[in-house]
Structure 1
Amino acid sequence: MPLRSLQALCLVNFFMADVRDGLGPFLGIFLTERHWNAGDIGWVMTAGGLAGLVATLPAGLATDATRHKRSLLLIGSLLITLSTLLLWYFHQGWIVVLSQIVTGLSAALIAPMLTGITLGLAGPQGFSHQMGRNEAFNHGGNMTAAIIAGASVWLWGTGAVFVLMTTMALCAGAAVLAIRHNDIDNLAARGLSGSESASNVPRLYQIARNPAVIITGVTLLLFHLGNAALLPMLSLRVAAAHNAAISPGLYAAATVVISQCVMIPMALYAARHAPRFGYPVLITAALLVLPLRALIASAFDGAYFMIPVQILDGVAAGLLGVAVPGYIVKVLEGSGHTNAGQGFIMLMQGVGAAMSPALAGNIAAAYSYRSAFAVLGAIALAALITWWIGSRYSEKNGVPRSARS
């Protein structure tokens, strides 16, 4: 394997972690400080997520087709950084919406490109191991950025987050350029071996007819519908409590740090034990976590109850970050459209994630944060039931044994 390029890929994941999500949980804090309400903030987040959906499937197709994955990574990073910096200078509603739309479109491009580069560098045999490393570095980057951001916000205010993100974007760009272009096997990156013809591949509609892909997509749509708004709503609940003992900025940073600390060992664990347990078992374990997480958030509103909530978030995200891409690679191996399949899954995830903040934000505005968390928990149970029933069906309808073991 090309060791230098794989090491550079780890650094790309470390620095890109802070870039890909823009302001992330600090967006709600930033807008709350400028007197936006929870419902409006939720709709802004949803606008960005919906815009990203437009680019998700084309981004997967582009990853399969292009030989210039590094260049597209750099372009995506640059667009996210510039659109986020706009928020510091302009606070008009349409500027905020435009910024989130550009961020959503660019983030949709970055994710499949990173997966394709990983598959092209490590090959199918080394993919799970490298994805575990990628996720560990990604979570490490999120944790490091959150610690620095929390300290910076405490000392200098929310504006320090913009400086941090720009710095991380510059470092991510340098790491991307350190990946050797010739080390990327573009056939392997799309799920083909050297002996297979790139022209003799199934049409894209055949991916959508794959029962395992459809079931996984619907499950993750529900999962992210129930999961995506939990962290922003936790931060907004603290920001709305003007007598809170902890500053909203520090609270947002703490929520990220706790979950990322757990995600790192969970990602490495998933990569190591995927051959033993199988990807479906790891996905099931992650789905079991979310209902409990939402229950705790709904039942207890004390600031310190976010600790178990975010520990559980780390468990679920760490497992899914490795198990889902690995499962799709196995299911679509030899199709030539592996990254298009990943794009379809990201599309389904994005639908849920995009609608989640608006759903939770409006429930919180109309009723209470406790009610919002309860609804998110009910959706999480629906995701678990869908996966449980669907996985039984897919086992009887052509899922390769290598994807289950």
Structure 2
Amino acid sequence: MLNQLPSKLPDVGSTIFTEMSALALKCKAINLGQGFPNYPPPEPLIQAVNAAMRQGHNQYAPMAGLPQLREVIASKVLGQHGQDYSTETEITVTSGATEALMSSFLALTHPGDEVLLIDPAYDLYSPALRLAGATPVRVPMCPPKEDDPSFRIDWNRIESAITTRTRMLVLNFPHNPSGLTLKPEDLDALETLVSKRPLLLLSDEVYEHIVFDGKKHLSPVARPTLAERTVLISSFGKTFHATGWKIGYCCAPAQIMTEIRKIHQFTVFSVSTPMQAGIARYLREPNIVSELSDFYQRKRDRLIAGLKNTVLRPLTSEGTFFLLVDTQALGAGLEKELALSLTRELGVVSIPVSAFYADPDSPASNHQLLRLCFAKRDATLDQALERLQGVKNC
């Protein structure tokens, strides 16, 4: 009987991140693929979590999250974007951004709904939507060109993809994998879209505090007409170099949040109490997140400078802890094959950008681009760069 067990995701296997990380271990390669730092969280944060444990914060937290953490989240978002969320009804602490995304998709989409994803798109979105019964509709960005080394959003194409069944548009900015950030004209385009169609917006902003070159992160919730239909999602794991802690949050108008909490309470109910208490205490310290962009920009610039000694051409990264490199000097072919080759031959792991498309093997998904993660110790970056100097032209 079990041989006939039907799968809800029959075409889904191990992710590219799992595959490349396993190959990294096998080849003893430097892993610039998967997006996790190889340095610890800030020591004061670790001390704050430890103190919370010793002070007795070890039992279930309230379903929506500790009040003191929801308060600092509300204050942070108000200071960033001018949007005032109720701590009682509009903010929920989640088990990482992953759970916030899954709970939002399950709560807000239904069988027959279509949800627009902007390609290249983070690989969680499509299977999560399919589990919710919705249909992902992929809309590609314009790929980088020689005179414009960055992806660009094609708002006309997005509008053309909207049908009477379109329920939601998923945004992910700063964007993984491209590093693109939203501009004021993008928010203008979004306002035009929602004035024509009753769209929900889900804004995945886990890299909100990692934006470079003096720019500021722009969120849809900075515009009242967009905030009233937006679910904002973020991650303390990404912000504080603690991806294994799996602590995130979402903010949304009360009517939307009511539905998300219905799913959240029967998925995890609540998340780690001492970590919530520790993060709440740590976030009250001044300049906690304001220094992150400079910290990561130094790493981005270190990687870019080192790549000048290779045949790999770095593209523009406006945010996140990722940098795309153009590999056209190495000839045509599938990006995944090149990533595998670099791992085996040079001992440096990357992620093919084609993995963020619906069909990674399609020519339309392969632009000779690889993603490198620079959330690593300087010594790790330098060692990887030394190895990458061994890449030869085709």
Instruction: Name the larger-Rg structure.
Output: 2
Report which structure shows greater RCO (CA 8 Å, sep ≥6): 1
- Relative to its length, the structure with more helix (as a share) is 1
Q: TM-score, normalised by structure 2?
A: 0.28
Q: Say which structure is richer in strand.
A: 2
TM-score normalised according to structure 1 size: 0.28
